[in-house]
Amino acid sequence: MGKVVLGVTVGVAVAACAVAALVVGRRVRSRKKWKRVVGVLKELEESCETTVGRLRQVVDAMAVEMHAGLASEGGSKLKMLLTFVDNLPSGSEKGIFYALDLGGTNFRVLRVELGGQRSDLDPDVEQQPIPEQLMTGRSEDLFDFIASSLHRFVEKGNDSVQSSIVKELGFTFSFPVKQTSVSSGVLIKWTKAFAIKDMVGKEVAGALQQALARKGLNMRVAVLVNDTVGTLALGHYHDADTVAAVIIGTGTNACYWERTDAIIKCQGLLTTSGGMVVNMEWGSFWSSHLPRTSYDIDLDAESPNPNDQGFEKMISGMYLGDIVRRVILRMSEESDIFGPVSSRLYVPFALRTTAMAAMHEDDSPELMEVARILQDVLDIPDVPLKARKLVVKICDVVTRRAARLAAAGIVGILKKIGRDGSGGITGGRSRNDIKMRRTAVAVEGSLYTQYTMFREYLHEALHEILGEDIARHVVINVTEDGSGTGAALLAASHSSSGSVDNIQLV
Ligand code: ADP
Ligand code: MG
């Protein structure tokens, strides 16, 4: 009997040892895996590093590329497109003006009444989706559809459609256009969901003008502009110190006011104002100083436009969520902290930037929003708190880099036009010698307006790069719907009654 008792005791002791060894073994293994995941995070942080020193290198590179893009056609990845917009709304505009805004899935028609002095604008706006079949059909059908909508809109507003007074229309067309004048330009290529073959290489405003005529509308396309230019126009209308506009939404782009004599690729360009708005197309900016990760390289290689829009792919709403998805996928493959690898993690763009921002800004102590999004969007259930914190950190690293690079881009523009307090690109004078003028930048786009962390990081970086003394002279103004309202304002400031075509090429 005693033997039996001893045998049982020994057996229990052996089993206990085995369990203990298993637990310790598992702990060691899980610690190792955790270490690996932390290693992935550390590597991400290092390769996303944006020290002020590095940001200043990006600032310089941006200013240098701007010069190169203005010096010759194809001289830089920055296209630096001429817009022929040679004056910006001042507030003295008067009358009723219309605008059409075409650039994404929706298109809008607007009507603005201007009273001759700066005021809060309250445009009538009507928005509708573009039927899908029109995005890939014939250009005539698309423009007829647009003209019909405008016709209905004008009639509804009790404005006579066929009145003898010609109505001025601003047309925002957010696709790459080679402008030939402020009111004409040729479509270089379609982007986004549009693919109307017979339109490429054709004059855009002309196609609209013909459709207006077919509908019997007595309207003139006074300006054909990019959405950034509309934003600059609206920014300038409200604040005359506005010199540049930046859009940070699905994509990112900027434009600014440049002296015509600095636009070397267009020798002999004369405007009465001595300046012109230049559409930078800054999404395609590239520099070896940009902090690039393996995730960026993969994202670019798998995108429909590899080697293009490099700056945009690090900054804008279309991409940030996908960079985060790629990091989570790597961590999930290297460890089991997210359980078995979810197949959703392999789906490109499965994690949208809005969902990523919601995780980043989850301020609940248990990070319940992070848990919900991981479960609902990425099909990853039961993620422990420790791993949820890691996800927040990934979002933070990716967004911080994006916002800080956008800030460097803005300072690059300021440097190019001598508004960064350094005395311009050639430098020379010390910061103290410069009397810094108040300088405003108009900003639009949901990343900036809806994503608080993004906005705060951008501001912080602006202050770091410029230094407090200079930064307090630089203001960022949010404009609302510049792409539409700004085009109507430009139609006013470039209307046939207000100005003759005063741009000359001599
Ligand atoms: P668009 O650029 O298409 O004209 P927006 O300026 O509204 O339109 O930008 C839309 C983009 O902004 C979306 O692609 C999305 O990624 C991002 N976005 C929208 N809302 C938020 C948000 N709350 N937080 C972060 N990103 C957002
Ligand atoms: Mg937009």
What pLDDT is stored for residue 195 in this prediction? Answer: 87
Distance CA 302, CA 496 (A): 48
Atom of ligand 1 nearest to the CA of 356: 25
Residue type, 341: V
CB atoms within 10 A of CB 113: 15
Structure tokens at 223: 């300006």
Q: Is the dihedral of CA 208, 209, 210, 216 positive or negative?
A: positive
N-term to C-term CA, the chain: 116
Which residues share a beta bridge with 219? 167
What's this model's pTM, rounded to 2 decimal places? 0.90
Say which residues have a Cβ less than 8 Å from residue 467's Cβ, sequence separation at least 6.
Answer: 421, 431
Q: What is the position in ligand 1's atom list of the atom closest to the CA of 450?
A: 23
Task: Determine whether 495 is an active site residue.
Answer: no
pLDDT at 223: 97
Tokens 């600095």 locate to 262
- 247: CA distance to ligand 1 center in Å? 11
> 442 CB under 6 A from ligand 1?
no
Catalytic residue among 227, 300, 322, 420: 227
Q: How far is CA 108 from the centre of its chain?
A: 20
Pairing of the two strands 94-102 and 106-115: antiparallel
Query: Residue 426: what pLDDT?
Result: 47
Question: Of 90, 114, 66, 174, which is closest to residue 417 (Cα–Cα)?
Answer: 66
- 165 pLDDT band (50/70/90 cuts)? confident
Average pLDDT over residues 472-484: 94
Ligand 2 center from residue 444 Cα (angstroms): 7
Mean pLDDT of the chain: 90
The answer to whether the beta carbons of residues 398 and 451 sit under 8 Å apart is: no
Catalytic pick among 86, 101, 108, 419: 108
The residue type found at 65 is: E
**Whether the CB of 449 sits within 6 Å of ligand 1:** no
Ligand 2 mean position to 356 CA, how many Å? Answer: 20
* Residue-wise pLDDT tens digits, 243-254: 999 999 989 999
Ramachandran category for residue 80: left, alpha or beta (phi over 0 → left; psi -120 to 50 → alpha): left
Rounded percentage of the chain residues whose pLDDT exceeds 70:
88
The ligand with the least distance to the CA atom of 226 is 2
Question: Which residue, among 269, 340, 284, has the nearest Cα to 315 in the 3D structure?
Answer: 284
Band (497; pLDDT cuts 50, 70, 90): low
Q: Is the CB of 446 under 6 A from ligand 1?
A: yes
**What's the rounded Cα separation, in Å, for the pair 331 and 137?**
44
Among protein residues, the one whose CA lies closest to atom 15 of ligand 1: 317
Distance in Å, CA 120 to ligand 2 centroid: 20
- Identify the pLDDT of residue 13: 55
Cα 150 to Cα 107: distance, rounded to the nearest angstrom = 11
Q: Describe the strand order of the beta sheet including 106-115 as a list of residue ranges.
A: 124-129, 106-115, 94-102, 167-173, 219-225
Closest atom, ligand 1, to C-alpha of 444: 6
Average pLDDT over residues 6-26: 54
Tokens 């939404």 sit at which residue? Answer: 249
Q: How far is CA 186 from CA 100, 201, 375, in A?
A: 17, 5, 47
| Pick from 496, 492, 490, 484: nearest CA to 166 | 496
Question: Looking at the predicted structure, is the pLDDT value of residue 496 above 70?
Answer: no
Three-state secondary structure call for residue 309: coil
Residue 465 has pLDDT above 90, yes or no: yes
Pairing state between β 439-444 and 474-478: parallel
Asked whether residue 18 carries a pLDDT value surpassing 90, the answer given is no
CA 254, 258, 262, 265 torsion: positive or negative?
positive
Contacts of 37 (CB under 8 A, 6+ apart): 331, 334, 335, 337, 387, 390
The answer to whether 174 is a known catalytic residue is: yes
Q: What is the CA radius of gyration of the chain?
A: 28
Name the residue of 312, 398, 447 to mutate for ligand 1: max ligand atoms within 8 A of Cβ: 447
pLDDT at 128 over 70: yes
364 class by beta-carbon count within 10 Å (0-12 exposed, 13-18 middle, 19+ buried):
exposed
Question: Among the options 174, 183, 493, 495, which is catalytic?
Answer: 174
* pLDDT attached to residue 103: 83
Does the active-site annotation cover 227?
yes
Tell me which ligand sits closest to the C-alpha of residue 248: 1
pLDDT tens profile 285-323: 999 999 999 999 999 999 988 999 999 999 999 999 999
Q: What is the DSSP letter of 248?
A: E
| pLDDT (tens digit per residue) in 436-453 | 899 999 999 999 999 999
354 lines ligand 1 (CB under 6 A): yes
Model pLDDT, residue 230: 96
Give residue 305's pLDDT. 86
Would you say the CB of residue 249 lies under 6 angstroms from ligand 1? Answer: yes
pLDDT tens for each residue of 193-235: 788 999 999 999 999 999 999 999 999 999 999 999 999 999 9
The residue contributing the CA closest to ligand 1 atom 3 is 250
The predicted pLDDT at position 23 comes to: 54
Residue 112 CA to residue 67 CA, distance in Å, equals 37
Per-residue pLDDT reduced to its tens digit, 363-416: 999 999 999 999 999 999 999 999 999 999 999 999 999 999 999 999 999 999
Ligand 1 probe mutation, 108, 172, 250, 312, most atoms within 8 A of CB:
250
Ligand 1 proximity of 443 Cβ (cutoff 6 Å): no
Give dist(CA 488, CA 123) in Å, integer: 10
